[in-house]
């Protein structure tokens, strides 16, 4: 795909990998809708990257807010690329991890991905040109680790979601790819309790 002039939606774009993806896409002259909850970080990113970066302060676990934003935003244009990057991770023993941590991971890592994808796929189907959905998984969606039941469950779920979606939409000229990175030095380590190395 020639990237210049395309339109991308990137979730979790205010820091870490999502920010790096947004920066790389803007450098290729892609219009990027950068989604995150942190409005201030998004505004700083816009100031750094210019007019091609469109900050969107949005909680991807809010299905109604996503539907409203998609309906308001994509009236004249259709997204070419969706990158589901937003994710949270907490680790702990199954009998010690708070239910709230489980819910946060499932709501962000799975439900948020579903809400965004299911809202944007119909628009991608309307296009004559190829579209891409790229889901950021984890090595823990392929392998497991102790005290990672919730996070592993969410990332194995993301892997299954992606593989099934690929079979569903490939005849609609939509490609689906999942990346399974290992350790990346981002703020994820602060929330995960893992020492960065």
Q: Of 33, 114, 115, 151, which one is the catalytic site residue?
A: 151
Query: Helices 113-125 and 63-73: crossing angle, nearest 10°?
Result: 30
Listing DSSP states for 134-168 in one string gives EEE--GGGTS--TT-HHHHHHHHHHHHHHHHHHHH
Strand partners, 178: 135
Coil/strand/helix, residue 186: coil
Between CA 64 and CA 54 the distance in angstroms is: 20
Q: Which residue has the tokens 């935003």?
A: 73
Contacts 24+ apart (CB under 8 A), 118-122: 119/66, 119/67, 119/70, 120/9, 120/70, 120/74, 120/79, 120/82, 121/169, 121/174
Does 151 participate in catalysis according to the annotation? yes
Contact present, 113 and 158 (Cβ < 8 Å): yes
DSSP 133: E
What residues act catalytically? 151
């Amino acid at each position: 795909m020639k990237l210049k002039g395309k339109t991308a939606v990137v979730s979790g774009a205010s820091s870490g990998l999502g920010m790096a993806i947004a920066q790389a896409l803007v450098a290729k002259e892609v219009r990027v809708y950068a989604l995150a909850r942190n409005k201030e970080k998004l505004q700083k990113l816009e100031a750094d990257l210019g007019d091609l970066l469109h900050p969107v302060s949005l909680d991807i676990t809010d299905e109604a807010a996503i539907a409203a934003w998609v309906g308001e935003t994509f009236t004249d244009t259709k997204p070419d690329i969706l990158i589901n990057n937003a994710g949270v991770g907490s680790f702990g023993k199954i009998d010690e991890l708070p239910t709230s941590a489980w819910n946060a991971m499932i709501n962000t890592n799975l439900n948020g991905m579903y809400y965004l994808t299911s809202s944007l796929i119909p628009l991608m189907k309307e296009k004559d040109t190829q579209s891409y959905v790229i889901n950021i998984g984890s090595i823990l969606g392929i392998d497991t680790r102790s005290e990672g039941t919730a996070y592993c469950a969410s990332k194995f779920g993301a892997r299954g979601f992606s593989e099934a979606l690929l079979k569903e939409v490939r005849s609609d000229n939509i490609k689906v790819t999942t990346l399974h990175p290992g350790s990346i030095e981002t703020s994820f380590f602060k929330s995960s309790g893992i020492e960065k190395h």
